[in-house]
Structure 1
Amino acid sequence: MTKATRNVQPVTANLGKAGSVELVPSRYAVRVGDVDVVLISDGILPLPTSTMSTNVSEADRNEWFDGRFLQRDMFDWALNIALVRSGERLILIDSGVGDGFEYFTRAGRSVMRLESAGIDLAAITDIVITHMHMDHVGGLNVDGVKSKLRPDVRIHVSAAEVEFWKSPDFSKTVMPEAVPPALRKAAAKFTELYSENIMQFDQTVEVATGVSARVTGGHTPGHCVVDVASNGEKLTFAGDAIFEVGFDHPEWQNGFEHDPDVAADVRIALLTDAAETGALLAAAHVAFPSIGHVARNGKGFRFVPVQWDY
């Protein structure tokens, strides 16, 4: 008998405070040494479960989703961004999906949630784009956002990523039919809007004291992760290098990976490093707030979420 499964729907309520409509928390902060890191939920992307594991059988995939009490056909994929303060620099990592995607009506909350947290977009000095997929640059493409940012905001994108999106190759991906055109459109709009602000880097760049971005490739050729290191403590925001199923099965490939073989190698290397060093890990598509440690678990790994501090 198949287990009863469900995708939990968002809860909204107005509990006496005018304008309060969200009962579910949408941001969580940790301190890494002297650096403040805030994870912010952009919302949820409903996607076919088949895209989560394109190189395994349907039976194996179903077994994993059944074990999570999740539906077998569609999966609610978390989408997170991060905000980092180091000294006088305020750094945004990715920007969410934005608007204009009728199939992603439960995401695109990043700008609203930044503003509701009292973050003036003009205070952001730097933006790191882990890669130029629409759910990472789309928030910057929303009408009116650019005018709220400071004119000299520095947007760090790897040179390989910028070059790739001039003529992107989708030959190794397994995406829903509507996605590649939307990805091309979002990347082109982002490049056009922010061409004067984009600061390309090769392999690594120090964005602020204790905050650096480094290219991993795999998910896209110029995909990067962001390392926060201060006073002997470390957190890595892994972007799209790691998905929830990847802890149990790091060799399982994702349909959104432009080079799935390299992406699997990158994922295993990141998880191995986190397990050996005890560093914190966060990611764009791990359930919010996505912050935790990684432990070895047989041939795979186990994600150990942080205990929430209230």
Structure 2
Amino acid sequence: MSTYLNHSNQTNATDDRQASVTRQPFAPAQELVPSRYALQVGDIDVVVISDGVLPLPTSTMSTNADPQARAAWFKDMFLGPDAFDWALNVLVVRSGEQIILVDAGLGGQFPGFPRAGQLPKRLEAAGIDLASVTDIVITHMHMDHVGGLLVDEVKSRLRADVRIHVSAKEVEFWETPDFTQTVMPAPVPDVLRATANQFINDYRRQVRTFEDEYEVAPGVVVKLTGGHTPGHSIVYVNSGGERLTFAGDALFPVAFEHPEWHNGFEHDPEESVRVRMRLMREAAASGEWFVATHLPFPSVGRVAVDGDAFRWIAAFWDY
């Protein structure tokens, strides 16, 4: 990992493209698509890794929205009308001697999502060895955040003493999860429940719980927010007067223009609105880097206030 990160963004998409073109002039399209993006936050190295995408109904992104308003938003974004590809982003952070994986993607064990579960091969392509990971932060225990830890090619390569940080409230919630306020496709709750249970069963000895917040490594803090799930957490990376927030599932692409729209996967939709409003106001005031699981890759940008709503300002790629 150190070799890759020391080259920072110079080894992002360009190397992938050059390697593909060198091998064959008309390389398959997937070989030309970048899957990682590196940046520095002070002295801390951060890499955003794409776990791929999964298709979801557009209605899931805005369960309380007027159908015509929803259709108009997706049309304006050249998406939909009935479904769209939901990005999956994870982080790898190096602070001092610690290498921290933030979330683990979906994994390849779920039928119907052939373009997700890409994390193992994309970590390998980035030169990041799973055996070097000292800590894993789980923002919450939905299947697209812990599923990647359940595949054999990941489990067999993680070190036995890896520390997995999850909020105590999140672990408690999944003992008897409540789906009464969610609006998910019918099979999903059972799969979410089973995946969360398997994660705890497989990693019980490695799990380290925290109450409100915990400093995982110098400058890397995981903090409870609630909302999306009762134990949902975010990660702050602070170094040299700079900050990056990984917001997990606190917000989705519609959140900037319509922060009041509910997402079908939110276990407490009203609290989720309060959480994302607070996080976006903080980000707009500080000018910090902002990354989230389901914003389009590489999901690195800033937030600005735009009247009663917000505006997403994507970072200019440095490569």
- TM-score of the superposition, structure 1-length normalised? 0.94
User: Could you say which residue in structure 1 is the equivalent of 2:316?
Assistant: 307
Distance 2:31 2:49 in 1: 14
User: Is 1:221 equivalent to 2:230 in the alignment?
Assistant: yes
User: Is 1:43 equivalent to 2:49 in the alignment?
Assistant: no
- Name the % identity: 59
Distance 2:109 2:160 in 1: 25
Matches within 5 A, 1:226-237: 226-237=235-246
Matches within 5 A, 1:159-238: 159-238=168-247
Name whichever of 176-185 and 279-288 sits farther off: 176-185
User: Could you say which residue in structure 1 is the equivalent of 2:4?
Assistant: none
Matches within 5 A, 1:12-161: 15-17=21-23, 22-161=31-170
Native 8 Å contact 2:245 2:291 kept in 1: yes
User: Could you say which residue in structure 1 is the equivalent of 2:282?
Assistant: 273
Task: Note closer, same or farther for the CA distance 1:241–1:209 as it changes in structure 2 (3 Å cut).
Answer: same
The superposition leaves residues 1-46 of structure 1 with CA deviations (integer Å, 9 ceiling, x where unpaired) of xxxxxxxxxx9x9534389852110100110000011000000010
Q: Secondary structure at the match of 2:84?
A: strand
Distance 2:114 2:96 in 1: 36
User: Could you say which residue in structure 1 is the equivalent of 2:294?
Assistant: 285
Distance 1:195 1:55 in 2: 37
Distance 2:37 2:23 in 1: 21
Q: Secondary structure at the match of 1:196?
A: coil
Using the TM superposition, give the Cα deviation of residue 158 of structure 1 relative to its aligned residue in structure 2, in angstroms: 0.3
Distance 1:145 1:35 in 2: 25
Distance 2:268 2:72 in 1: 25
- Long gaps (5+) in structure 1: 1-10
CA-atom RMSD, angstroms?
1.5
Distance 1:208 1:14 in 2: 36
Distance 1:101 1:248 in 2: 32
User: Is 1:262 equivalent to 2:268 in the alignment?
Assistant: no
Paired amino acid for 1:289: P
Distance 1:213 1:250 in 2: 23
Native 8 Å contact 2:108 2:118 kept in 1: no
- TM-score of the superposition, structure 2-length normalised? 0.91
Question: Which structure carries more helix by proportion?
Answer: 2
Distance 1:16 1:184 in 2: 46
Count the aligned residue pairs.
Answer: 299
